[in-house]
Amino acid sequence: MSQSCVEYKENAALRRHSMWSSLAVDHLLGILIGSALLLHAESVCLWILTFASVITNELLRSGCVWLMGVPAGFKLNTELAGVLGVISIYAIQIWPTLWILIDFLFIYFIKGLGLLGILFGATIPAALITDMVSLATLQLFTGQSQSCIPGKYKL
């Protein structure tokens, strides 16, 4: 019975040490990432905006135009492909317009991420980044929901 008490106390001390060490590592990583974001905010913004532009303009639009054509050598429903392609291109066009509006605020967001990383550790900026990625992929959800509109009215 006394050995189980010793084992319990040892496990509790190990958990307490693990929690404090993971908090220390989180804070150190936050300081490193935050200071790097603060020092290189303009280059990070430029890289992200260029990456978003390449994804939107070159990959998504050219993919929609390619799918509106004859991608595999056959086309089952040309009219439906044209309508869905135009709807998808309009949904894709929304995001470059929004990026133009958000462009001047984006550097403040990156600097805010850096400051939050320095103050609160790496977990808070990571959570905000995942929220921004899910906001950015809202474009795909919008395109999918708009592509369901012709099928809804056809029934």
Question: What is d(CA 122, CA 38) in angstroms, rounded to the nearest whole number?
Answer: 14
Q: Is 15 exposed, middle or buried (0-12, 13-18, 19+ CB in 10 A)?
A: exposed
Predicted confidence (pLDDT) per residue in 33-53, tens digit: 999 999 999 999 899 888 888
pTM recorded for the entire structure: 0.68
pLDDT for res 153: 67
- Quickly tell me which residue has 């133009």 as its tokens: 100
Question: What is d(CA 25, CA 73) in angstroms, rounded to the nearest whole number?
Answer: 55
Predicted confidence (pLDDT) per residue in 125-145, tens digit: 888 888 888 877 777 777 677
Report the sign of the C-alpha dihedral through residues 82, 85, 90, 93, in that order: negative
Please indicate whether residue 26 or residue 75 has the higher confidence score (pLDDT): 26
Q: Are the C-beta atoms of 87 and 67 separated by less than 8 Å?
A: no
Q: How confident is the model at residue 80 (pLDDT cuts 50, 70, 90)?
A: confident
